[in-house]
Structure 1
Amino acid sequence: MYKIGIDVGGTNTDAVILDGQLNLVHSIKIPTTEDIQTGIAKAMRQVLAESGIDRGKVTHAMLGTTQCTNAIVERKKLAKVGILRLGYPATASVLPYTAWPKDLIASLSETYGLVKGGYEYDGQPLTELDEEEIKSVVKSWQGKVQAIAIVGVFSSLKNEQELRVKELVEEVLGNEIPISVSSTIGSVGLIERENATILNAALHEVIQITSNGFEQALIKENIHHAEVYLCQNDGTLMSLNYARQFPILTIACGPTNSIRGASYLAKLKDAVVLDVGGTTSDIGVLVDGFPRESSLAVDVGGVRTNFRMPDIVSIGLGGGSLVRQAQDGTITVGPDSVGYRITEEALVFGGNQLTTTDIAVRLGHATIGNPELVAHIDQNFAEKAYQKVADMVGEAIDKMKTSATDVTVVLVGGGSVIIPEDIIGVKELIRNENGGVANAIGASIAQISGQYEQIYIYAKTERSDCLEDAQNKATEQALLAGAIKETIELVEVEEIPLAYHPENATRLRVKVVGKMA
């Protein structure tokens, strides 16, 4: 029994094979291709060929990919979205797409309908649904939109209207059109939840291409019976069918894969993780073996959203970051980088760009390329540049700490050779020989998760009943994502009282995890 894990980064695509006991059998790292799909297929082919394993014994294949993130950032391959907002006339003063980048709006088509519906903060209807109105609006969109986003006021408290509107849309447009329902995606806050739902709907075509391409790549390598998963941004996995419903959950899965992989390699459940790539470094926090989740609204491609995202700080520092000295003697590192072209452009590989990797080789901290090609670099300059790297990392780690106490840091990523041993605020820096492929390892060892969030009114329903309801619904999500029912267990409960509510309303979030099928 073997598992294949592939993780696509901005600079490198990593692939690993683990055996049934989760021991690393083989790993490879290749430059990420402009056509990401080609790089995935190449990495899979190479790791299988070099390992020599029996392909018939591959039981699971996992992919962590940046394609959904790239689609939003590059404004490419996004579906035309029709937005149904249930909340007229109460929300007419702030229209959909408010504060969105204009080029992104142009990619999605400015098609929306403000219709009656929505709830008050106490669960009472703002206005009743007008089903004929909804059918009329949706019918006018036939042939103009490729996906639908349904968003209701306070649907995080009560989502019956959203679910009914979904049924009405399917009556008009059929069951084939992808529909995103906001109560299953975002949190409290109409505009941010609406934004996340629109983006989820827009990623329909991208996730289809990604998932179908991964399946085809496996078939071409004579792997026909493996269970196939995509990585989520909470450090867990989801089935392809689940990913096709919620593609937005793949955004930022790369850093969380690295955090989970770091946990596995260092055998720690609580630590700070520093993942150094070719262009950027990501700092995250392990809490009981899983990435800490952000409590803030998150910007995705210039759009403010409130769906689940990991708490990550990214800085423009990587193995390919350019090192320069200003006229006043000041040394700068990054944020620009040679990225995946490092083997062509860095000095140690015969190029003409001075990078952080060149500095590490010059000081004897790394054995990469040809050291003679950087021997001319002034020792004093190199030491100052190396200290600049240490200062940048120390400052970023400090932002992630919750106390002044020095922390343990697990160092992973292909660019980790550039990181100095002595960093302010760090009591121990843990390196691992397989840290360069921690992201792919994290993809391979992950479990299946389910998460549910809703506002419950404890004055009307017993707290224990609310917890049970939320856990049951989180379990349903885990089962849909591919978990084995008997292995599902509760791992996280978060309760946040809403101070302004007169009836003890509480935002309850529950997370469960289970083993993959």
Structure 2
Amino acid sequence: MRIGIDVGGTNTDAVLLDDRAVLAAVKTSTTEDVTSGIVAAVDGLQRQRPFVPADVRAVMIGTTHFINALVEARRLAPTAAVRLSLPAGASLPPMVDWPQRLVDAISGRGYLCHGGHEFDGRHIAELDEAELRKAADEMGRAGVRSVAITSVFSPVNAEFETRAAEIIAAELPAVAISLSHEIGRIGLLERENATVINAALRELAAGIVDGLAGAIAGAGITAPLYLSQNDGTLMDVDFARRYPVATFASGPTNSMRGAAVLSGLDTCAVVDVGGTTTDVGVLRQGFPREATTDVDVAGIRTNFRMPDVLSIGLGGGSRIHDGDTVGPDSVGFELTSKALVFGGNTLTATDIAVAAGRADIGDRSLVAHLDPSLVRTALDRIASDVSDAVERMRTSAEPLPVVAVGGGSALLPDELTGAGQVHRPENYAVANAIGAAIAQIGGEVDRVYAVEPGRRETVVDEAKQEAVDRAVAAGASPASVSIVDFDEVPIPYLPGNATRIRVKAVGELRLGS
């Protein structure tokens, strides 16, 4: 058996699975400290379908802890960014495009040092170790507790980042160090930004992961704990401590993976209506379509793995304004105290769904006074907003089935203009938790190669094998690993037949590994 848990802004969902059969499913309110909400969800599973904790082989959690900490600019560690690029790359210092409030929240400091590579691995300049030791001394005196190291074209050659980390660790042994070639893709500033974000969250990650593990252990479960990543795969707790940035979009990703399993459709648009937002994404071969452009996270441009998701401020907790405006503000996890159907005084989308007979929660008599025209107008506005979002996510004229999941999907009609019938599979309300529970282990390679004449097939095979090896090293069963995504893009403005190759491999989790 497995337990999948997804922590959203409004609800915490949990499922108990035997293989892919759903034995129990619960939806509880997300608590302010989050971990107590997880404990309540596991207790709810136990009440619904009693199980022996020792029979649980793995627990998978998708959490909003880390993205919330960044957006709210709280509990972030004092962080320094070290860029190995001189004499090049000095015109735009680290964090140049960050919102000032986030720079202040991490007490951000930037250091430019000699080093870096050309795309083919040649040195821009040699590493200046004395320069790095001087920077480390300044960091120590400034109270820096986490360091992000970025080198030009480090995804091609990471030697300077690795050596710089050794030097700084020797000078500042208590400091956490994040390396950009392990986090971001080609593109210096965006990769650096992602690495700085990761570094700022490292301290928080240790405490949160320990808290999640404690919550699971408190329920008597000794099985391994995994966290969901942005690309629909899993990472163990040690990986999560080092790379908290990899969890940022795990919620929408879990919902899309769950929608694929529940609906049997591996290529479709998924509309996940939660309590606070509606997330619209596209599945290809059962996995979320990844963003091909820079992704904005809390006002910061990044280029690490993120699903291509369009989020709009519409959910079950959305406030209704002047009859025809829904959201974008939401009562969030206070829905059960503020919505009319629960005795509150705030008109929400949930009240509209209950008044229209699309949902049966709370006390229906408390919304009996609502004007039918107001209810109809609000539902039409919701359908229109979601239809527009689905249309914006289409990349071709090909028909794209729509699968609705999430507790708030009761707000949607049976058909959407321009998109046709809306599929609502069984257990759609907890698709996110199911997606977490059935997630696989992945490995990815994204690198620029100098492809010599006649060696293309060899280079491609090497890249694919490296992706497979990474998936196996992360805990995938070797026999189950397959290549699910492959991109090959020649870069004509660079010499040496430069080609960017991206390969993604996934496999089933090797339980007990």
Shorter-normalised TM range: over 0.9
1:299 aligns with 2:296: yes
Instruction: Give 1:251's aligned residue.
Output: 248
Supply the AA of the counterpart residue of 1:128: E
Please report how far the alpha carbon of residue 376 of structure 1 lies from its aligned counterpart in structure 2 after TM superposition: 1.9
Q: Which residue of 2 aligns with 1:29?
A: 27
Residue identity in the other structure for 1:401: R
1:275 maps to: 272
Aligned to 2:307: 310
What is the aligned counterpart of 1:446 among 439, 442, 447?
A: 439
Q: Which of 413, 420, 426 is the matching residue for 1:427?
A: 420
Q: Is the 8 A contact 2:278 2:312 kept in 1?
A: yes
Flag the 1:189–1:317 CA change in 2: closer, same or farther, 3 A: same
Compute the displacement of 1:460 (Å): 7.0
1:148 matched to which residue of 2? 147
**C-alpha displacement of 1:270:** 0.7
Residue 390 of structure 2: SS of its match in structure 1? helix
Give the deviation of 1:17 after TM superposition: 0.7
State the aligned residue count. Answer: 509
Question: Which residue of structure 2 lines up, in the alignment, with residue 465 of structure 1?
Answer: 458
Is 1:200 the equivalent of 2:202? no
Q: Does 1:347 align with 2:340?
A: yes
- 1:16-415 alignment runs, 5 A limit: 16-19=15-18, 21-142=19-140, 144-174=143-173, 177-224=175-222, 226-325=223-322, 331-415=324-408
> Could you tell me the TM-score, scaled by structure 2's length?
0.95
Alpha-carbon displacement from aligned partner over 1:195-254 (angstroms, at most 9, x marks no partner)? 001011111122211211122122211112x12111001111111112222211100100
How many angstroms does 1:405 deviate by?
A: 4.1
For 1:12, the equivalent position in structure 2 comes to 11
- With structure 1 as the length reference, what TM-score do the two structures score? 0.94
Letter in 2 for 1:117: G
Question: Which range moves more in the overlay, 270-279 or 396-405?
Answer: 396-405
CA contact (8 A) 2:4 2:61 kept: yes
Q: Displacement of 1:477 after TM fit?
A: 3.0
Deviation track 1:153-173 (CA, whole Å, cap 9, x = no partner) reads 122332222222222233333
Matched residue of 2:314: which SS?
Answer: coil
Q: 1:141 Cα deviation (Å)?
A: 2.4
2 CA distance for matches of 1:268 and 1:406? 13
Query: Tell me, what secondary structure is at the counterpart of 1:142?
Result: helix
Aligned partners of 2:285 and 2:130: how far apart in 1? 50
Deviations 1:332-378 (A, max 9, x none): 11111222222222222222222222222222222222222222222
Contact 1:78 1:202 in 2 (8 A): yes
Structure 1 consecutive aligned stretches of length 4 or more whose deviation exceeds 6 Å: none
RMSD: 1.7
- CA deviation vs aligned residue, 1:78-134 (integer Å, no higher than 9, x gap): 122222211112111111110211121112123232111012344321111112222
Amino acid at match of 1:158: N
* Distance (Å, rounded) in 2 between the aligned partners of 1:406 and 1:471: 31
1:438 Cα shift?
A: 0.5
SS in 2 for 1:77: coil
What secondary structure, in the 3-state scheme, does the structure 2 residue paired with 1:43 have?
Answer: helix
SS in 2 for 1:501: coil
- Partner Cα distance (2:100, 2:116) in 1: 28
CA displacement, residues 122-155 of structure 1 (integer Å, 9 cap, x when unaligned): 4321111112222332244236222221101122
For residues 171 and 371 of structure 1, what CA distance do their matches in structure 2 show? 65
For the residue of structure 1 that corresponds to 2:415, the secondary structure is: coil
Separation of aligned partners in 2, 1:15 and 1:206: 24
Query: What is the aligned-residue identity percentage?
Result: 46
Structure 1: state its 5+ residue gaps.
Answer: none
Deviation digits for residues 295-330 of structure 1, max 9, x if unmatched?
A: 11011111111111000001111112122227xxxx
Distance 1:367 1:120 in 2: 61
Confirm or deny: 8 A CA contact 1:406 1:425 kept in the other structure: no
Distance 2:344 2:134 in 1: 62
Q: Secondary structure at the match of 2:168?
A: helix
Moved more, 356-365 or 384-393: 356-365
Q: Is the 8 A contact 1:139 1:172 kept in 2?
A: yes
Q: SS state of the match for residue 364, structure 1?
A: coil
Q: 1 CA distance for matches of 2:447 and 2:367?
A: 58
Q: Which position in structure 2 is the counterpart of 1:485? A: 478
**3-state DSSP of counterpart to 2:48:** helix
